[in-house]
Amino acid sequence: MKESIYQTVCPGCGIGCGLYIREDNQGAVSIDFFKSNPVNLGKLCRFGMKLPHYFSSGAFCKADEPSSMEGAIRDAAARLKGAEKVAMLSVGNTTCEEHMAFERIAKTLGSAVHTGIQAYSKLPPECHSYLEGMPFQDIEKANKIVLFIDPYVQYPLLVRRLLAAKRNNSHIISVGTKELHLADENLSITPNEYSQLGLDSNSVIITDLHPHTDANDIIQLLNLSLETGAKILTMKPFVSSEGVNRISKVKTTSKGLSQMMDEVKKGNIRTLVLLDSDPIELMPDTDETVKSLKKLDNLIVISSRKSPVNEIADVVISTEPLYRKAGTFMNTEGRIQENSGTGVTGINAMSSLNKELGSEEFEYGQLHEQVMAALTNEGQKSGYSKIKNLATAKQCTGGYVLKYLYNPFMWFNQLDDNDFVLINLNMVRSLKLKKGGQISLTSENGNIKMRYRVEGMPDGLILTARKLPIAIAGTTSVKVEGC
Nearer to ligand SF4 (CB atom), residue 152 or residue 420: 152
Distance CA(21)–CA(33), nearest Å, equals 9
Q: Where are the alpha helices (DSSP H) in 267-362?
A: 279-282, 286-293, 308-312, 345-356
Those residues with Cβ within 8 angstroms of residue 323's Cβ, 6 or more apart along the chain or in another chain = 6, 8, 21, 23, 29, 55, 339, 341
CB of 61 to ligand SF4, least distance (A): 24
**For 402, phi and psi rounded to 5 degrees?**
-95, 125
Strands in 212-278 per DSSP E: 231-235, 271-275
* Minimum distance of ligand SF4 from residue 136's CB (angstroms): 11
Helix (H) or strand (E) holding 187: none
Q: Which is nearer to ligand SF4, 15 or 123 (CB)?
A: 15
Q: Which is nearer to ligand SF4, 6 or 47 (CB)?
A: 47
β-bridge partners, 206 = 147, 233
Determine the residue with CB nearest ligand SF4.
12
Least distance CB 277 / ligand SF4 (angstroms): 17
Q: Are 140 and 165 in contact (CB under 8 A)?
A: yes
Q: How far is the CB of 42 from ligand SF4 (least distance, A)?
A: 11
40 or 248: CB nearest ligand SF4: 40
Contact yes or no for 345/62 (Cβ under 8 A): no
Beta bridge partners of 338: 328
Give least dist CB 146 to ligand SF4, A. 20
Q: Tell the smallest beta-carbon distance from residue 337 to ligand SF4 (Å).
A: 11
Q: How far is the CB of 354 from ligand SF4 (least distance, A)?
A: 31
Residues 343, 355: contact at Cβ < 8 Å?
no
d(CA 466, CA 217): 23
Judged by the rule CB under 6 A, the positions of this chain that interact with ligand SF4 are 10, 12-13, 15-17, 40, 44-45, 47-48, 155-157, 408
Closest Cα to residue 206, out of 280, 269, 140, 271? 140
Q: How far is CA 137 from the centre of its chain?
A: 22
123: which DSSP letter?
S
E strands, 269-327, are: 271-275, 298-303, 315-318
| Virtual torsion, Cα 238, 215, 459, 406, nearest 10 deg | -10
- The two beta strands, 475-482 and 438-443, are antiparallel
Please identify, using beta-carbon distances, which residue of 48 and 92 lies nearer to ligand SF4: 48
Smallest distance from the beta carbon of 239 to ligand SF4, in angstroms?
Answer: 7
In the bound complex, what is the minimum distance in angstroms from residue 159's beta carbon to ligand SF4?
Answer: 9
Measured from the CB atom, the residue of 39 and 326 that comes closer to ligand SF4 is 39
Instruction: Give 208 or 356: the residue with its C-beta nearer to ligand SF4.
Output: 208
The residues that bridge with 464 in the sheet, in sequence order, are 404, 421
In the complex with ligand SF4, the residue whose CB is nearer, 31 or 145, is 31
Closer by beta carbon to ligand SF4, 41 or else 112: 41
